[in-house]
Amino acid sequence: MTDIATRVYNHTWKIDPIVRSVLDTDFYKLLMAQTIFRRYRDVRVTFGILNRSTSVKLGSMIDIGELKEQLDHIRTLALSRGESTFLRGNMFYGKRQMFSPDFIQWLEEFRFPQYHLEKRGDQYELLFEGPWIETTMWEVPALAVVMELHSRAVTKGLGKFELQVLYARAMTRVWEKIGRLKKLPGLSIADFGTRRRHGFLWQDWCVQAMIEGLGKHFLGTSNCLIAMRREVEAIGTNAHELPMVYSALAQDDRELAAAPYKVLADWQEDYDGNLRIMLPDTYGTKAFLERSPDWVTGWTGARIDSGDPIAGGELVLDWWRRRGADASKKLLIFSDGLDVESIERIHAHFKGKTRIGYGWGTLLTNDFRGFVPDDGLDPFSIVCKVIAVDGKPAVKLSDNPAKASGPREEIARYRRVFDVPEQVSMPVAV
Amino acid sequence: MTDIATRVYNHTWKIDPIVRSVLDTDFYKLLMAQTIFRRYRDVRVTFGILNRSTSVKLGSMIDIGELKEQLDHIRTLALSRGESTFLRGNMFYGKRQMFSPDFIQWLEEFRFPQYHLEKRGDQYELLFEGPWIETTMWEVPALAVVMELHSRAVTKGLGKFELQVLYARAMTRVWEKIGRLKKLPGLSIADFGTRRRHGFLWQDWCVQAMIEGLGKHFLGTSNCLIAMRREVEAIGTNAHELPMVYSALAQDDRELAAAPYKVLADWQEDYDGNLRIMLPDTYGTKAFLERSPDWVTGWTGARIDSGDPIAGGELVLDWWRRRGADASKKLLIFSDGLDVESIERIHAHFKGKTRIGYGWGTLLTNDFRGFVPDDGLDPFSIVCKVIAVDGKPAVKLSDNPAKASGPREEIARYRRVFDVPEQVSMPVAV
> Tens of pLDDT along A295-331?
999 999 999 999 999 999 999 999 999 999 999 999 9
> What is the C-alpha R_g of chain B?
21
| Residue with the larger pLDDT of the pair A16 and B386 | B386
Answer yes or no: do A168 and B175 touch at CB < 8 A.
yes
Residue A2 has pLDDT above 80, yes or no: no
Q: What is the mean pLDDT of chain A?
A: 95
Instruction: State the CB neighbour count (10 A cutoff) for residue A411.
Output: 18
A212 interfacial to chain B (CB closer than 8 Å): yes
DSSP code, position B287: H
- Phi-psi label, residue A166: left if phi above 0, alpha if psi -120 to 50, beta otherwise: alpha
B165 interfacial to chain A (CB closer than 8 Å): yes
pLDDT number for residue B3: 73
Pairing of the two strands B95-96 and B44-51: unpaired
A209 interfacial to chain B (CB closer than 8 Å): yes
Please report residues of A whose CB lies closer than 8 A to that of B161.
175, 208-209, 212-213
d(CA A40, nearest CA chain B) in Å: 43
Answer yes or no: do B165 and A172 touch at CB < 8 A.
yes
A167 interfacial to chain B (CB closer than 8 Å): yes
Helix ranges, B216-371 (H) = 224-230, 241-249, 253-270, 285-290, 309-322, 340-350, 362-365
Q: Are A82 and A143 in contact (CB under 8 A)?
A: no
d(CA B68, nearest CA chain A) in Å: 28
CATH number 3.20.140.10 given to A1-430: yes
Give how far the C-alpha of residue A40 lies from the chain's centroid of Cα atoms, to the nearest Å: 21
Answer yes or no: do A212 and B160 touch at CB < 8 A.
yes
> What's the average model confidence in pLDDT over A266-279?
95
- The residue count for chain B: 430
DSSP code, position B185: T
Answer yes or no: do A161 and B209 touch at CB < 8 A.
yes
Between CA A235 and CA A241, with CA A237 as vertex, the angle to 5 degrees is 130
Please report residues of A whose CB lies closer than 8 A to that of B9.
1
- Phi-psi label, residue A113: left if phi above 0, alpha if psi -120 to 50, beta otherwise: beta
* pLDDT cut 90: percent of chain B above it: 89
Between A192-206, B151-165, B325-339, the lowest mean confidence (pLDDT) is in: B151-165
Answer yes or no: do A167 and B168 touch at CB < 8 A.
yes
pLDDT tier for residue A212 given thresholds of 50, 70 and 90: very high
Residue type, B343: I
pLDDT tens per residue across span A93-145: 998 899 999 999 999 999 999 999 999 999 999 999 999 999 999 999 999 99
Pairing of the two strands B189-191 and B91-92: unpaired
CA A361/CA A364 separation, integer angstroms: 6
pLDDT tens per residue across span B160-178: 889 999 999 999 999 999 9
pLDDT number for residue A283: 97
Size of interface A-B (CB pairs under 8 A): 53
pLDDT tier for residue B157 given thresholds of 50, 70 and 90: confident
pLDDT tier for residue B4 given thresholds of 50, 70 and 90: confident
Helix, strand, coil percentages (3-state) for chain B, rounded to 5, are 50, 15, 35
d(CA A5, nearest CA chain B) in Å: 8
pLDDT number for residue A429: 76
Answer yes or no: do A161 and B208 touch at CB < 8 A.
yes
Fold of the CATH domain B167-240+266-365: nicotinate phosphoribosyltransferase (3.20.140)
pLDDT number for residue A423: 82
Domain locations in chain A as residue ranges: 1-430
**Strands (DSSP E) along B52-204, which ranges?**
91-92, 95-96, 116-120, 123-131, 189-191
Using CA coordinates, name the residue in chain B closest to A213. B161
Nearest to B172 among A6, A169, A212 (CB): A169
Using CA coordinates, name the residue in chain A closest to B159. A212
pLDDT tens per residue across span A328-377: 999 999 999 999 999 999 999 999 999 999 999 999 999 999 999 999 99
Q: Are A282 and A386 in contact (CB under 8 A)?
A: no
Q: From the candidates A161, A202, A205, which should be mutated to test the interface with B, based on the most B CB atoms within 10 A?
A: A161
Residue B71 has pLDDT above 90, yes or no: yes
Q: Are A315 and A289 in contact (CB under 8 A)?
A: yes
Answer yes or no: do B213 and A169 touch at CB < 8 A.
no
pLDDT number for residue B423: 82
Element spanning A359, H or E: strand A355-360
Using CA coordinates, name the residue in chain B closest to A7. B1
CA A263/CA A280 separation, integer angstroms: 11
pLDDT number for residue B42: 92
DSSP A405-416: BS-HHHHHHHHH
- The residue count for chain A: 430
CA A123/CA A55 separation, integer angstroms: 10
DSSP code, position A33: H
Please report residues of A whose CB lies closer than 8 A to that of B1.
3, 5-6, 9
H helix count then E strand count, chain A = 18, 14
Q: What are phi and psi of B220, to 5 degrees?
A: 150, -165
> What's the average model confidence in pLDDT over B369-380?
93
pLDDT tens per residue across span A9-46: 777 777 899 999 999 999 999 999 999 999 999 999 99
pLDDT tier for residue B393 given thresholds of 50, 70 and 90: very high
pLDDT tens per residue across span A237-265: 999 999 999 999 999 999 999 999 999 99
Please report residues of A whose CB lies closer than 8 A to that of B171.
164-165, 168
d(CA A53, nearest CA chain B) in Å: 30
Please report residues of B whose CB lies closer than 8 A to that of A157.
none
Between CA B169 and CA B180, with CA B174 as vertex, the angle to 5 degrees is 125
pLDDT number for residue B2: 66
A165 interfacial to chain B (CB closer than 8 Å): yes
Please report residues of B whose CB lies closer than 8 A to that of A3.
1, 3, 6
Nearest to B164 among A9, A169, A171 (CB): A171
A1 interfacial to chain B (CB closer than 8 Å): yes
Chain B segment 120-159 residues within 8 A of A by beta carbon are 159
B10 interfacial to chain A (CB closer than 8 Å): no
Using CA coordinates, name the residue in chain A closest to B172. A165
* pLDDT cut 70: percent of chain A above it: 100
B213 interfacial to chain A (CB closer than 8 Å): yes
Q: What is the mean pLDDT of chain B?
A: 95
CA B314/CA B339 separation, integer angstroms: 20
Q: Assign A383 to helix, strand or coil.
A: strand
Answer yes or no: do A171 and B168 touch at CB < 8 A.
yes
Residue type, A288: F
> What's the average model confidence in pLDDT over A170-182?
97
pLDDT number for residue A204: 97
pLDDT number for residue A1: 60
Answer yes or no: do A172 and B169 touch at CB < 8 A.
yes
Nearest to B1 among A3, A172, A175 (CB): A3
Using CA coordinates, name the residue in chain A closest to B206. A161
Which is it for the CA torsion B92, B93, B95, B100, positive or negative?
Answer: negative
> What's the average model confidence in pLDDT over A266-275?
94
Q: What are phi and psi of B192, to 5 degrees?
A: -115, 25
